[in-house]
Amino acid sequence: MRIDGRTRLAGVIGWPVEHSLSPAMHNAAYETLGLNWVYVPLPVASHKALFAVVEALRVLPFVGFNVTMPYKQVMLELCDETATLAEMAGAVNTVQCVDDRLIGYNTDGRGLLESLQTDVGFDPADASVAVIGAGGAAGAAVTAFVLAKAARIAIVNRDVSHAEGLKERMSGHLHGTTVSTYALDAAEEAIRDADLVVNATPLGMRPEDPSPLPATWLRRGHVVQDMVYGACQTALLRDAQQAGARAVDGLGLLVAQGALAIDIWAAGDSGQVRAPRDVMRAAAEAAAEQVGVRNGGEAT
């Protein structure tokens, strides 16, 4: 890594961010690609501070930045322009800085599809999918499955009104996909009937967190994707393995969404490149092992 007067910056905004594996995997990718960039964590403790930081990033030499919890949804309102996928998801996790303007994207959904294909060879086309949660991560997941032409999507949330709001946001984009909403206590049949079950809630970020759903709802034949990553296996994934399901943690998603962010930034700054997913995954795994990550994170 070199740092000089021409070095460009990137980073991740969130609170907390000390657990993030993104700096390790991004900086490894930049070195491999020969980019004179450096990626740094940007801990921002409040919404008031977020507004000040975002304004500063407009004029600092940033190619872009990522956004993680708890700011993905509010970031949608702070960008000058947002991509359609971000609008559909209701959240921004990747921002490109162009001439003092902020262009918002959501790479979580495409990253999820890439991870499912790479890690377990799963294609959601014509499949039945259950998404647990109704926040920004869930919005990205549902958006991805709509665009991938899943046959049915069940949105499951403790507060069903939030699930209904997400369904409504998708209403003009469905093109044959059926979307249903369920309160958690009424979702057993929808979960059991799904081909793919996705946890898009924060449950699992701490080692002591319970699973977002009862273990008895999982079965052999399920693919169970947790959008949370960390050194400790989540309760959901332990239950999935015990039920004979294929269990996938959030590391592949972390890598894929970060790689897609680099692809976006590099296209605007240095020309078309493809971020090296294998290098990024190795760096993320090494960083997790080195620091002994116990608490997990969302895939940014």
Q: pLDDT tens for residues 263-287? A: 999 987 666 789 999 999 999 999 9
**pTM for the whole structure:** 0.93
Helix (H, G, I), strand (E, B) or coil at 39: strand
pLDDT tens-digit readout, 59-116: 999 999 999 999 999 999 999 999 999 999 999 999 999 999 999 999 999 999 999 9
Same fold, 8-107+253-298 and 109-251: yes
Sequence letter at residue 59: V
Is 167 among the catalytic positions? no
Tell me which CATH homologous superfamily contains domain 8-107+253-298: Leucine Dehydrogenase, chain A, domain 1 (3.40.50.10860)
- What residue segments make up the domains of the chain, in order of their start? 8-107+253-298, 109-251
The H or E element containing residue 261 is helix 251-269
Closest CA to 103 of 118, 120, 125, 86: 86
Contact criterion met (CB below 8 Å) for 119 and 126: no
The CATH code of the domain at 109-251 is 3.40.50.720
Measured CA to CA, the distance from residue 67 to residue 22 in angstroms comes to 11
